[in-house]
Structure formats: C-alpha cells, structure tokens
C-alpha cells in the first residue's frame, strides 16, 4: 500500500476490502492504490482474486467489507452508472453482441449518451485508425471478424466515450500466439499514446512485464508482492513468488 499523500491522488483505491462467494474467499482484507496515468498488471494463478478486483472497481460486485474509492471519493451504488461511462472495460474474447455489427457495438454507449450519428462515426474512425482496424470491418458482424479484429473492436468500444481509465480482464487470453504477440505490441503503443489509467489482469507474467512497470502478484485474495518485474525476479517475497517467476516455460534447445 502506498503512502497517504499518493493515495489522495489515486484514480482508484481499495481499503481493507474483503469479498466472499459462499465459502470461497475471493478478496481478503485487500488494500491497493492505482495512481492516475499509470499502467498496472494484476497477475496470479486462476482463483487468486485478480478479476474480482476489477469487478469491485467497476461496481459490478460490492465488497462485503471495506471501501472502494474513485478519485478520492468512496464509490456508492447511485454512482455506478456514471462510473461506467468514465471507465472502459474490456473482457476476454471481447464480449461483443453477435447481432450487432462492429459499428453497432461501438455505438451502444454513445447512443445512450445522446451522441448524433456524425459524432459516433467520427469517433469510430479515429479509433479504427488508432487500433489499425480496417474501416470495412466496422460493417461486419462479430462472427465475420477474426479473433484479433474482435479484440480491437472490444478495445474501441471501451474507448468510445474517451474514458478516464481502462480496465482489461485477460483481453488477449483467447488468441493464438501470433495474433496475441501482434496485439501486445499494439496495446502497449496505445497505452503510451493515450496516457490513461490502465489496470490489466493476466496470468501471463511475460505479458504483464511487457505492458506494465508495476506488477501486483496475488494469491488467495491477497497481495503477495507489489513491484516491477525485476523485484519479483531478483527479490521474491517468498517461495511462491519464486516458483511463479520460474514457472515460465522455455523453448527446448534443438540439438544438431
């Protein structure tokens, strides 16, 4: 946890938050700060609580105990809809509506906000250029797009209303290795250009280190270590951190 001065300027803050699902403890007395304009990767094995943190930050789940704050103000149920207009959310496989074209998916929130067709079209064009999506793809349905194109559209949808922050939950997890590698490069470029607060969930340590200077390793709903990749690699907090870092599979050497 960071000091009180930095916490006051945090884009998001979690204070002594716990969340259970029946007998399963998803988050256990957790406190974290996410400073504005930074990129943070939440990493850990399945069931570590990292996706639950994102859902708590978005108001999709509510803590059993503790507080979630946005911009220094505690999140209240009445503020959730307003929050979701200010925060882009991208999930694995995109979560696009199959009966709408890519353009139709992009237009959902802007329509709700009262944007006219010209403004929606201009914003869609800007984001297509940013994400290197062909304009013709905007008229296709999700089933007619490649996996990489669907993820680009999902990212565009998250950015349509120019949110203050972007939360991504395993956004590249379902892609094949070549497409995933290409989109990793694209996303890193986009994060640098936009200078928004980004919180990324992934179980892939090299991917986390590629995107973010700050890695937060979670286990059983708690933070085990919080720092850069070199911290985790060179100064592991415990045996689990050392095993997690060492678990990256290396390509076998080919004898000739």
Distance CA(64)–CA(171), nearest Å, equals 27
Give, for 27, the enclosing helix (H) or strand (E).
strand 24-35
What's the pLDDT at 36?
92
Distance CA(226)–CA(10), nearest Å, equals 16
Would you give the DSSP letter of residue 116? Answer: -
Q: Is 16 helix (H, G, I), strand (E, B) or coil?
A: strand
Q: Could you tell me the CA-to-CA distances from 192 to 95, 126, 186, 189 in Å, in that order?
A: 24, 16, 10, 5
Q: What kind of architecture, by CATH, is found in domain 4-246? A: 3-Layer(aba) Sandwich (3.40)
Q: Report the pLDDT averaged over residues 32-56.
A: 94
Distance CA(86)–CA(12), nearest Å, equals 12
How does strand 73-74 pair with strand 39-43?
A: unpaired
Binning pLDDT at 50, 70 and 90, where does residue 6 land?
very low
Distance CA(229)–CA(236), nearest Å, equals 10
How does strand 24-35 pair with strand 10-21?
A: antiparallel
For residue 201, give the nearest of 229, 166, 169 by alpha carbon: 169
Q: Is 46 helix (H, G, I), strand (E, B) or coil?
A: coil
Annotate 130-189 with DSSP letters as a single string. Answer: HHT--GGGGGS-GGGS-HHHHHHHHHHHHHTT--SEEEEESTTTTS-HHHHHHHHHHHHH
Instruction: Encode pLDDT of 84-139 as tens digits.
Output: 788 999 987 778 999 999 999 999 999 999 999 999 999 999 999 999 999 999 99
Instruction: Specify whether the CB–CB gap between 208 and 248 falls below 8 A.
Output: no
Residue 247 has pLDDT above 90, yes or no: no
For residue 208, give the nearest of 188, 236, 193 by alpha carbon: 188
What's the pLDDT at 252?
63
**What are the residue ranges spanned by the domains of the chain?**
4-246
Instruction: Encode pLDDT of 215-244 as tens digits.
Output: 999 999 999 999 999 999 999 999 999 999
* Other residues' Cβ atoms within 10 Å of the Cβ of residue 58: 20
Distance CA(183)–CA(171), nearest Å, equals 10
Q: Report the pLDDT averaged over residues 201-209.
A: 92
Would you give the DSSP letter of residue 8? Answer: H
Residue 167 has pLDDT above 90, yes or no: yes
124-128, 165-169, 183-187: least confidently modelled range = 183-187
- Lookup: tokens for 80: 């959730």
Whole-model pTM: value is 0.88
* Other residues' Cβ atoms within 10 Å of the Cβ of residue 177: 7
* Other residues' Cβ atoms within 10 Å of the Cβ of residue 82: 11
């Amino acid at each position: 946890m960071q000091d009180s001065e930095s916490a006051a300027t945090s884009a998001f803050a979690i204070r002594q938050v716990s969340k259970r699902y029946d007998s399963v403890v998803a988050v256990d007395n957790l406190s974290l700060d996410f400073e504005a304009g930074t990129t943070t990767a939440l990493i850990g094995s399945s069931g570590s609580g990292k996706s639950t943190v994102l859902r708590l930050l978005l108001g999709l789940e509510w803590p059993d105990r503790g507080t979630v704050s946005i911009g220094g103000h505690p999140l209240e149920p009445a503020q959730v809809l307003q929050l979701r207009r200010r925060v882009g959310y991208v999930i694995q496989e995109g979560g696009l509506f199959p009966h709408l074209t890519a353009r139709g998916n992009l237009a959902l929130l802007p329509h709700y906000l009262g944007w006219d067709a010209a403004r929606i079209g201009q914003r869609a064009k800007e984001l297509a250029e940013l994400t290197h999506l062909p304009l013709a793809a905007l008229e296709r349905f999700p089933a007619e797009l490649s996996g990489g194109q669907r993820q680009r559209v999902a990212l565009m949808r998250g950015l349509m209303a120019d949110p203050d922050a972007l939360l991504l939950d395993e956004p590249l997890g379902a892609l094949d290795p070549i497409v995933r590698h290409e989109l990793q490069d694209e996303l890193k470029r986009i994060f640098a250009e936009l200078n928004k607060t980004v919180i990324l969930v992934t179980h892939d340590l090299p991917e986390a280190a590629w995107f973010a200077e700050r890695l937060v390793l979670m286990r059983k709903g708690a933070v085990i270590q919080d720092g850069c990749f070199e911290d985790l690699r060179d100064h592991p907090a415990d045996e689990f951190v050392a095993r997690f870092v060492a678990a990256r599979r290396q390509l076998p050497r080919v004898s000739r």
